[in-house]
Chain A
Amino acid sequence: LTKPVELPQGTLEMLILKAVSLGPLHGYGILLRIQQISGERLEILQGSFYTAIYRLERRGWIKGKWGESENNRRARFYSLSAAGTRQLKAETDKWTDMAAVVAGILDKKADEI
Chain B
Amino acid sequence: MSLLAAIRKLWDAIAPRTHRDVEEEFRSTLEAYQEDLIRQGLPEEEARRKARIDLGRPTAQNETYRDAIGLRLFDELGGDIRYGLRALRRNPGFTAVAVLSLALGIGATTAMFSLIYAVLLHPFPYDGADRIMNPVVIDQQHPDQWSWFLLAKAQFDDLRLAAPVDSALGFDNGGLEITGGALPEDIQCTYLTENAGTFFGVRPLLGRNIEPSDAENGGHSVVVLTSAAIPTSSGERWKLITPPTPSSGSCRAASHSMTASASAMFTCLPVSSRVSTFPSGPTHRGSSSGPASHWPPPTLRSSPSCASLHNSIPIVFPITGISRCSPSSCLTSRELAAP
Q: Which residues of A contact B (CB under 8 A)?
A: 26-28, 46-47, 50-52, 54-55, 58, 60, 69, 71, 73-76
B45 within 8 A of A: no
Is A75's CB under 8 angstroms from B25's CB?
A: yes
Once the chains bind, are B64 and A71 in contact (CB under 8 Å)?
A: no
Q: A51 and B13: CB pair below 8 A? A: no
What B residues does A55 contact at CB under 8 A? 68-69
Q: List 20 A-B contacts (CB under 8 A).
A: A26-B28, A26-B29, A27-B26, A27-B28, A28-B28, A28-B32, A28-B33, A47-B64, A50-B61, A50-B65, A51-B64, A54-B65, A54-B68, A54-B69, A55-B69, A73-B28, A74-B28, A75-B28, A75-B29, A75-B32
With contact pairs A28-B33, A51-B68, A54-B64 given, residues A69 and B28 touching in the complex (Cβ less than 8 Å) = yes
Number of contacts between A and B (CB, 8 Å)? 50
A24 to B61, CA, bound (A): 22
A69 and B32 contact, CB distance less than 8 A = yes
Bound-state Cα–Cα, A75 to B35, Å:
15
Taken together as a complex, chains A and B put the C-alpha atoms of A51 and B63 apart, in Å, by: 10
A51–B62 alpha-carbon span in the complex (Å): 10
Contact A74 B68 (CB under 8 A): no
Which one of B35, B65, B67, B68 has the highest number of Cβ atoms from chain A below 10 Å of its Cβ?
A: B68
Query: For the complex, is B24 an interface residue (Cβ under 8 Å from A)?
Result: yes
Question: Do B56 and A71 have beta carbons less than 8 Å apart?
Answer: no
Which residues of chain A are within 8 angstroms of B55 by Cβ–Cβ distance? 46
For the complex of A and B, the 8 pairs showing the least CB-CB separation, nearest first, are A54-B68, A28-B29, A28-B32, A76-B25, A51-B68, A75-B28, A58-B69, A27-B29
Tell whether B54 is near chain A: CB-to-CB under 8 Å: yes
What 19 new A-B contacts, CB under 8 Å, besides A52-B68, A55-B68? Answer: A26-B29, A26-B32, A27-B25, A28-B28, A28-B32, A46-B54, A46-B56, A47-B64, A50-B26, A50-B61, A50-B68, A54-B68, A54-B69, A58-B68, A58-B69, A71-B32, A73-B28, A73-B31, A75-B28
Closest to A52 in B: B68
Complex interface: chain B residues within 8 A of A54 (CB): 64-65, 68-69
- Which residues 1-47 of B have a CB within 8 angstroms of A? 13, 24-26, 28-29, 31-33, 35
Residues of A with C-beta under 8 A to B25: 26-27, 75-76
Interface string of B63-103 (1 = CB under 8 A from A): 01101110000000000000000000000000000000000
